[in-house]
Amino acid sequence: MTGVKHLIEVHGLKKTYQSGDSRVEAVRNMDFFIDDAEFVTLMGRSGSGKSTLLSILGALNHPTGGKVLVDSLDIYALTAEQRADFRSEYIGFIFQSFQLIPYLTVLENVKLPMAVTGRKKKVQDRMAEDVIERVGLTAKSLRLPDQLSGGEQERVAIARAIVNKPPLILADEPTGNLDSKTAGDIMGLLKS
């Protein structure tokens, strides 16, 4: 179909790493598109390139070749500063290792992506408190990450990813540390 605008378009995507004397092709000649409001699951064995692909789609890791368009914007044609701004406004990340700042409270960690939005502090607080409630951590909003269980830390990472209501959420094993009921609730939250 002509004239169709996709949220993500990937053309000829490649990522190669050098490991000692050998070359590792983590991503090999990928072409695909994802439409707005589409929920896509990426599955594969450990080491098959899933995390590498997510980091490329999230403008964190330069591809060796090919193009990545997000909302028709070639994200690797942007400067590093423009990509950083784009990421903070457009993408919510849920990393496999959570990437929480250890000396910030739950509330402060969740507010982090809003630091560059120009929103007033009261608005940031309200938005952060709302998503913290949605992930069931209101009573723990003033705790530090090391005072939380692994599942609670994961929910903080999820709240941080969705607080700005980004058009694109990239999640690397978003429910890996959650019990089945909480995992189901979180998947529902991510789909909404």
Tens-place pLDDT, residues 173-192: 776 766 787 778 777 777 76
pLDDT band, residue 70 (cuts 50/70/90): very high
pLDDT at 53 over 70: yes
* pLDDT given for residue 39 in this prediction: 84
User: For the chain, how long is the longest CA-to-CA vector?
Assistant: 54
* Rounded Cα–Cα distance for residues 110 and 170 (Å): 16
Q: What are the two backbone dihedrals, phi and then psi, of residue 31, each rounded to the nearest 5 degrees?
A: -135, 125
State the chain's mean pLDDT as an integer: 89
Choose among 28, 8, 23: nearest CA to 73: 8
Give the residue among 73, 52, 96, 54 at the shortest CA–CA distance from 5: 73
Q: Give the range among 52-61, 68-77, 85-94, 99-108 with minimum mean pLDDT.
A: 85-94
Section 99-122 average pLDDT = 91
Of the two residues 180 and 3, the one the predictor is more confident about is: 180
The residue ranges of DSSP E strands in the chain, in sequence order, are 8-19, 22-34, 65-70, 73-74, 91-94, 168-171
Among 70-74, 88-92, 110-114, 133-137, which is the least confidently predicted range?
88-92
Query: CATH assignment of 1-77?
Result: 3.40.50.300
Q: Are 26 and 15 in contact (CB under 8 A)?
A: yes
pTM value is 0.81
pLDDT of the residue at 191: 73
In the chain, the percentage of residues whose pLDDT exceeds 70 is: 96
- What 82-87 contacts at long range (C-beta under 8 Å, 24+ apart), as own/partner pairs, is 83/59, 85/116, 86/59, 87/58, 87/59, 87/60
Q: Give residue 75's pLDDT band: very low, low, confident or very high (50, 70, 90).
A: very high
Domain(s) of CATH 3.40.50.300: residues in the chain: 1-77, 98-191
The span from the first CA to the last CA of the chain, in angstroms, equals 27
Q: What is the pLDDT averaged over residues 133-156? A: 93
Is the domain defined by 98-191 classed in CATH 3.40.50.300?
yes
Dihedral angle computed from the Cα positions of residues 71, 72, 74 and 79, in that order, rounded to the nearest 10 degrees: -60
The pLDDT, as a whole number, for residue 98 is: 84
Number of H helices, E strands in the chain: 6, 6
In this predicted structure, the answer to whether residue 3 has a pLDDT above a threshold of 70 is: no
Say what the pLDDT of residue 2 is: 53
Summarize the confidence of residues 23-41 as an average pLDDT: 90
